[in-house]
Amino acid sequence: MTVHLQRGCDVLRVGLIGFGLAGQAFHAPTIRGTVGMELACILERSRSLAQQKYPGVCVARTLEELLADETIRLVVVATPNTSHFDLARQCMMAGRDVVVDKPFTTTTQEARELIHIAERQKRLLAVYHNRRWDGDFATVKKLIASGTLGRLVAYESHYDRFRPQLRPSAWREQPGPGSGILYDLGPHLIDQATTLFGVPKSVTADVFAQRDGAQVDDAFDLRFEYPGLRATLRSSMLALAARPRFLLHGMQGSFVKYGMDPQEEFLRRGEFPSSTDWGPHWGEDPEEQWGLLSVPEGNSSATKKVHTERGDYRGFYANVRDAIARGEPPAVTAKDGLRTIRAIELALESSRERCTVPWSESD
């Protein structure tokens, strides 16, 4: 059974599977804030948080119950990583378009199989790499495209936290497929780097645990080699002192940016965008966190602030909405998600074997 959306007249009704952090903070409010979308149903198997937060939205207890609503065209999978494959598969087989939260799957084999199913079923399949809509990333992308830095030779990206205490009950900190910081925060940095520069020639990685008693990785250093360019991606759960979010060096200058995009902080504290405007200061980076551009000036250098572009995660869902209506591929395709999972697998191989691993064309 396939649910059809008529261009220009129907609101896209969306079902959301999962109401943990991803479902509550990132997906539900962003879907509701996107023009032309309606959060129609939330699958929450046991708790009643969804009903409390969204009393006018249907709450299902089983996938079958959610899929029984034939008016739901798009289903968003926002559940623990190991469940992504099977839930996405079932939804596409039921004729639905699907968005899968990052990481797409836990293996490239699963990712490739979902892509084949989407092609056979003629379904849209997208991966929620929302950090493409971070304001700081948009600023970096614009700066590189402008040529201001000249030929880029070094790109660094950091995503750190300071959580010295373990959380034994959290599935991300329990040994198993898809656990650990590389699968959690790694997809953000990997997708941004490969969006900017494409697939690297090789991957060198150190994936390790720093905290006492940690059972999964809680830090990583990745190095992607490109012709004339090295991209370094780092993350740690024990980084109290801030490292630059972005650091770029080129033949004609350098750019450094501290601080994270503010959207996650807003969403976590319950400040949601509306479907008509950003609201006061939504997605705006405070001036004290704007990046600094340094360029040669005579025998010295000049440094100036670079205004951070305004981020907006609704851009992801607006793109998915339009892609479904027009029958076009989304901005973040399933193959993009596969690329990220392949990078993770190569990084784990590099770290395990203590060597540089080439990224072959067949990958």
131-180 pLDDT per residue, tens: 999 999 999 999 999 999 999 999 999 999 999 999 988 999 999 999 99
pLDDT in tens, 251-268: 999 999 999 999 999 898
**C-alpha–C-alpha distance, residues 96 and 87, integer Å:** 11
Task: Identify the weakest region by mean pLDDT among 45-54, 127-136, 188-197.
Answer: 45-54
Work out the pLDDT band at 214, boundaries 50, 70, 90.
very high
Average pLDDT over residues 239-249: 97
Q: Is the pLDDT of residue 220 over 90?
A: yes
Residue type, 281: H
Residue 43's Cβ-side half-sphere holds a number of Cα atoms within 13 Å equal to 21
Which pLDDT score, from 0 to 100, does residue 48 have?
85
Region 135-260+274-311+344-358: CATH code: 3.30.360.10
> In the chain, what are the domain boundaries?
12-130+316-332, 135-260+274-311+344-358
> Coil, strand, or helix at residue 106?
coil
Mind listing the pLDDT tens digit for each residue in 124-141? 999 999 999 999 999 999
Determine contact, residues 256/246, Cβ cutoff 8 Å. yes
Predicted confidence at residue 9, as pLDDT, reads 46
What's the average model confidence in pLDDT over 337-349? 99
Tokens of 206: 């150190």
274 pLDDT band, cuts 50/70/90, is low
312 and 283 Cβ atoms separated by less than 8 Å: yes
* Whether pLDDT at 328 is above 80: yes
Mean pLDDT for 298-303 is 91
**Model-level pTM?**
0.94
The distance between the two most distant Cα atoms of the chain, rounded to a whole number of Å, is 70
User: Which overall architecture, per CATH, does domain 12-130+316-332 show?
Assistant: 3-Layer(aba) Sandwich (3.40)
The pLDDT value given to residue 8:
42
